[in-house]
Amino acid sequence: MTKMLDDYALLSPLRYTNNWLKIGVVGFGILMGISSQSPLVPFSIAICMSLATLIFGRVPPKFYLKLLMGPAVFVVFSIIIIAFFFGSGPELFGFNVLDYHLGVNTGGLSMAFLVFSRTLGGMCCLFFLALTTPMVELFSVLKKTRLPDSFIELSMMMYRYIFVFLDVAWCIKHAQTVRLGYHDLRTSLHSMAMLCSTLFLRSWEQGEKTFVAMNARCYDGKMMIFEEKRPVNFSEVALSLGYMVAIVGVWYVSNGMLEVSLW
């Protein structure tokens, strides 16, 4: 079976650090990155968060790069389009395609650069959260946000059974593959449809079985969500504060300089 983001988060050394601290650091990074007019801020955020993920979170660098490559493809396409079609200022280079002039100017290029850096910064922040905070920890965070209990209970059970059905789906897929269920497009579509319908029926049955099992343990329509106590230690707070002060500093300097240069 493939290893999922959640598996990394469950085994992460940062799993037991305070969830609110992690969410605070990530939220701060995203807000600062978006509000900055200079690509320098999101870039420094991206570097800091990546280092935190790799060093403190002990995520294998190869896996982390692979993870970044996914969204990177979309980002590259969009910044090419932005570079060519947006912005103003002196043209840097250009060419004609069937009597239509395409060119990149300084404004477009800097905008493309800014969009790229903001996306990268945001992605690194979110991956940090995703790779260090598993769902099971987020449930107690959700509880604190006063979402309806039934909503959280449902999501807890959905989380659990996603993995059960993933196993079932894999088993069915293997069983189909060994009998040549995916050897061309037609059979693949057919096999996939069979897999989906079987999975639907299985989940229906599972629902009934789970209900019986819960009843057998005196279920009365209420589950308790446990809030975990995750104490914050001094070095974590100091490091986070240091990071925040540094980013705010970079923000002031880079945005201020930008204003000066524009004037």
* Binding footprint of another protein on the chain (CB under 8 A): 7, 10, 134-136, 139, 156-157, 159-161, 163-164, 167, 206, 209-210, 212-220, 222-224, 226
Q: What backbone torsions phi and psi does residue 34 show, to the nearest 5 degrees? A: -70, -35
Dist CA 35 CA 117 (whole Å): 12
Q: 43-48: long-range contacts at Cβ-Cβ below 8 A with a sequence spacing of 24 or more?
A: 43/117, 43/120, 43/121, 44/246, 44/247, 44/250, 45/121, 45/124, 45/125, 45/247, 46/117, 46/120, 46/121, 46/123, 46/124, 48/243, 48/246, 48/247
Least distance to another protein, CB of residue 118, Å: 33
Q: How far apart are CA 81 and CA 61, in angstroms?
A: 30
Give 200 or 219: the residue with its C-beta nearer to another protein: 219
Q: How far is the CB of 154 from another protein (least distance, A)?
A: 12
Minimum distance, C-beta of residue 212 to another protein, in the bound complex (Å): 6
Please state, in angstroms and rounded to a whole number, the distance separating the CA atoms of residues 139 and 2: 24
Whole-angstrom distance, CA of residue 157 vs CA of residue 243: 37
Query: Which C-beta is closer to another protein: that of 146 or that of 217?
Result: 217
Taking the complex as a whole, the smallest distance from the CB of residue 202 to another protein amounts, in Å, to 11
Smaller CB distance to another protein: residue 158 or 238?
A: 158
Tell the smallest beta-carbon distance from residue 260 to another protein (Å). Answer: 52
Of 73 and 216, the one with the shorter C-beta distance to another protein is 216
Q: Which is nearer to another protein, 143 or 173 (CB)?
A: 143
